[in-house]
Amino acid sequence: MSGVVVLVELESSTEVLDAGEVDVGARIRWVHAAPADPDVPDDPGPVTFCGIDTGDLERESYQPSGPGEPWYPPSQRTRRCRECEAALRAL
């Protein structure tokens, strides 16, 4: 799917490992899609298809391998943004 950049919305998490130690990680809250920037096709445009500012999201390296493949990483099926998906279907 050309012209689409896949992005992830991360949810911060903090886990106390041992007295005084903290593991700060992040997990995926949602996977979003954004149109590619017309001037820099590898970068997302300013907002996702659902209207979120792309500056607050992380780039996902996933690219569909061919026609009929999902726009999101298959391992993140339950985290895909339904609004982005609806907008992509309408294209």
- Indicate yes or no: pTM above 0.85: no
Domain that holds residue 29: 4-90
Give the pLDDT score at 20. Answer: 57
Run of H or E including 87: helix 82-90
How many Cα atoms are found within 13 Å in the side-chain-facing hemisphere of 85? 13
* Structural domains counted in the chain: 1
Averaged over 53-73, what is the pLDDT?
92
pLDDT above 70 (res 85): yes
Tell me the C-alpha distance between 71 and 46, whole Å.
19
